[in-house]
Structure 1
Amino acid sequence: MIGKLYLIPTTLGDTEPLEVMPLSVKKVIEEIDYYIVENEKTARKFIKKISPKKSQASLQLMSLDKYAKDIETRRYLDVCKEGINVGLLSEAGVPAVADPGATIVKLAHENNIQVVPLVGPSSILMAMMSSGMNGQNFAFNGYLPIDKDERRKTIKELEKLSKDKNQAQIFIETPYRNEKMFADLKAALSPATSLCVAADITLLTEFIKTLSVQDWKHQTIDLYKKPAIFIIQKE
């Protein structure tokens, strides 16, 4: 029997795991000792929090950080041939969405290994759900360019695309650059364009609000170092 690859969600911040994900995640973690992770320290912390009695010494963690070589990662699922299940853990939220874990999922399919996604918080989908924008047609664009001129050009292109296709446009930013992004959005977008800002999703400090750009210009919000999602749509 071939082992399976379980896609295991993690919390989006310092939240009790079972407040935002089902008991089935805890049960799977208690049964698996082999994990592919971005960061060993935070992975161990999450596993201990959701399953305090699980032996940390039994854990076999394989790194998926930017220093891991492709030739190494291609062997991470070899244990599945021995009938051993493997868990793929993201740093935050669900694996393989805005996350390097997609390479491991692709490898699993190439090797006829069953992929089992588990339910958990996705900041992208939760922001979309809460935005009031078109949930029937939306696109996730990842990070926008760092260069200010290129970023503003991209913002305008996404705004046009949202109108032409009636498609909500989602993107993210590095938390310490959120406030620059927010300022650029207010400066580049048309006054009537809708803008949703969703920060600290699932945390006690959660903030989700959709306003026209014109109305946002009268608002002051603190986004510094807070994980945030931005969504725009022009009608």
Structure 2
Amino acid sequence: MPGTLYLIPVPLGPTAPEHSLPANVLDTIRPLEYFVVEQAKTARAFLKAAGTNKALQELQLEELNEHTKSDALDRLLAPLRLGLDVGLLSEAGCPAVADPGANLVALAQKEGIRVVPLIGPSSLLLALMASGLNGQRFAFQGYLPTKEVDRSKALRDLESESRKRQQTQLFIETPYRNRAMFDAILQTCQPATRLTVATDLTLPSESVLTRTIAQWKKQTPPEIERRPTVFLMLA
């Protein structure tokens, strides 16, 4: 029988794993010897904090990120085919959501390998929960275009879709471009559209604020530069 692929959530910032991960999740992580991770260095730091049954140098970590070639995925499944369990980690939050680990999960599902998602922090769901926007209809759009013209068009299209379907639109940006995204939203969207800016979720500096575009224009911009942020919009 093949092993099990465990999808392991990671804290959303510099905080102890036990602050955001249930005890049974930590208990599942500790016996594992094989991991597929986005970055080995940060994964080792997380595993050291979570605690493992083996020394860190005895763990086998394989990287899967934007630089990984598609033909390498097959090799990453090798331990699972031999009956060994494997943990899949993202850099932060839930693996396989806006994350290259999705490709490994797809291949595991194709081969009939058991995939088990573990409970942990999801910035998208936490932001939606605290936003006050529509939690019945929502869509995650990932990263929007970086070019100004393309980004403005994408924002107008999302606002139109939100108004038509009464659907909350969620999207993210590379942290150092957060302020540019925020400014673009204020310049592009209609005054009555509601915008939530959710920053540093689960951390002591957490902030989740919902305002209309008109209200945002009248107040001091939020301090979001280089801080993980989720944007939510409902027209």
| TM-score, length-scaled by structure 1 | 0.97
Letter in 2 for 1:119: I
Give the secondary structure class of the aligned counterpart of 1:217.
helix
Which residue in 1 is equivalent to 2:228?
227
Which residue in 2 is equivalent to 1:38? 38
Distance 1:206 1:78 in 2: 40
| Amino-acid identity (%) | 47
Aligned to 1:183: 183
Cα drift, residue 112 of structure 1: 1.1
Q: Match for residue 198 of structure 1?
A: 198
Q: Is the 8 A contact 2:33 2:54 kept in 1?
A: no
Amino acid at match of 2:168: A
- Separation (CA, whole Å) in 1 of partners of 2:223 and 2:3: 46
Listed one character per residue, the Cα deviations across residues 105-151 of structure 1 (whole Å, up to 9, x for unaligned) are 01111111100000000001110111111101000001111111111
Name the residue aligned to 2:106. 106
Deviations 1:18-50 (CA, angstroms, capped at 9, x unpaired): 111101121111110100011000000000011
> For residues 37 and 190 of structure 1, what CA distance do their matches in structure 2 show?
41
Q: Unaligned 5+ residue runs, structure 1?
A: none
Q: Is the 8 A contact 2:17 2:49 kept in 1?
A: yes
Structure 2 Cα separation of the partners of residues 185 and 161 of structure 1 = 15
How has the CA–CA distance of structure 1 residues 229 and 36 changed in structure 2, closer, same or farther, with 3 Å as cutoff?
same
> Partner amino acid for 2:228?
P
Could you report, residue by residue, the CA deviation over 1:62-107 in whole angstroms, capped at 9, with x for unpaired residues?
1102232222221211112222000000011000001111101011
RMSD: 1.1
In 2, are the aligned partners of 1:199 and 1:207 still within 8 Å (CA)? yes
- After superposition, the Cα gap between the structure-2 partners of 1:6 and 1:53, relative to the gap in structure 1 and judged at 3 Å, is closer
The aligned counterpart of 1:152 is 152
Secondary structure of residue in 2 paired with 1:195: strand
Q: Is the 8 A contact 1:48 1:54 kept in 2?
A: no
> Which amino acid in 1 is paired with 2:13?
G
2:140 and 2:170 in contact (8 A); partners too = yes
Distance 2:99 2:183 in 1: 26
Flag the 1:21–1:4 CA change in 2: closer, same or farther, 3 A.
same
Secondary structure of 2:30's match?
helix
- Aligned runs of 1:77-156 on 2, under 5 Å? 77-156=77-156
1:45-64 equivalences under 5 Å are: 45-51=45-51, 54-64=54-64
Letter in 1 for 2:7: L
Shift of 1:53: 6.2
Does the aligned pair in 2 maintain the 1:6–1:116 contact within 8 Å? yes
Query: Are 1:10 and 1:93, in contact at CA under 8 Å, matched by a contact in 2?
Result: yes
Write the letter of the residue equivalent to 2:143: Y
Query: Normalised by the size of structure 2, how large is the TM-score?
Result: 0.97
- Cα distance, 1:52 vs structure 2: 6.2
What number of residue pairs does the alignment pair up? 234
**Do 2:192 and 2:212's aligned partners in 1 also have CA atoms closer than 8 Å?**
yes
Runs of 4+ in 1 over 6 A off after TM superposition: none
Q: Distance in 2 between matches of 1:128 and 1:226?
A: 18
Determine helix, strand or coil for the equivalent of 1:6.
Answer: strand
